[in-house]
A = this chain, B = another copy of it.
Amino acid sequence: MPRIRLTVAYVGTRYQGWQIQGQGATIQGTIEDKLTRICGELVRVHGSGRTDSGVHALAQVAHFDVPESKAHIPWQQALNAMLPDDIAILDAVEVTEDFHARFSVRSKRYAYTLWTEPHFILPQRAPFVWAVRGLDFEAMDQAAQELAGTHDFAAFQNAGTEIKGTVRTLEPILRTQGQSPAEWVFRFQADGFLKQMVRNLMGLLAEAGRGGLGPGEVRAILEGCDRRKAPATAPARGLTLEEVVY
């Protein structure tokens, strides 16, 4: 059976995340529904990993297998004609069977966007940012330096995952100006992320920016491997999956 790799962008606001759940619309479910209609039989879509409810993507990757008789359908065109405006297929190519959207991942990159203008949030940017006030960005950069490297990130993993190992290698966290002067973007790249890890790391950075944590305390939280001792999770809306590397 031919295997197709999809690159998918979405605005996650309306969805209960990537992965099919008991109820509520999901990105995976919406794409499977269209593929199943096109193929006349159930087609399963495998993503590179879950994204939480409300998280966005510029380039999520997924694959699916299709019956030989459907091999020559122009998948990008067919799916984009059926999908709602908030999901789009950026690319669809046939790959060999040794490609697997989840198991073949080498690293992923997420962007988290903060909105710092205190008196308003621009409506055009509101779905994509977390509005914060009075953060000390130098203190955040210092805290970020403590997090980079190969560590046990158990303190940044929310409950409900089946993953055994919690050691990951996080590249240096980069901070850049966003689309407007009010926006700062933090980029997180790692060989893998635990459940809600980026949002938990961002929550810690924000707490450091509020003056609540020095570098020594950041190290202690990381080494403590206890989620209950780490700061609160940052909201989903500021997070975008930017790239999956294979």
Contact = CB atoms under 8 A, between A and B. Distances in A.
Contacts of A124: 9, 11, 56, 58, 128
A76 B119 contact: yes
A176 interface: no
Interface in A114-141: 119-124, 126-128
Interface stretch (A81-89, A98-106, A203-211): A81-89
B127 A85 contact: yes
A70 B172 CA distance: 51
B85 A120 contact: no
A123 B56 CA distance: 10
A222 to B, nearest CB: 33
B11 A88 contact: no
Contacts of A77: 119
A9 B120 CA distance: 10
A90 interface: yes
A23 interface: no
B123 A11 contact: yes
A10 interface: yes
A161 interface: no
A69 interface: no
Most buried by B among A56, A90, A120: A120
A179 interface: yes
Given A11-B123, A11-B124, A90-B122, 15 more contacts: A9-B123, A9-B124, A10-B123, A56-B124, A58-B122, A58-B124, A76-B119, A76-B120, A85-B121, A85-B127, A87-B123, A88-B126, A89-B120, A90-B119, A90-B120
7 contacts: A9-B123, A76-B120, A80-B119, A85-B121, A86-B123, A88-B120, A88-B126
Interface of A: 9-11, 56, 58, 76-77, 80, 85-90, 119-124, 126-128, 179
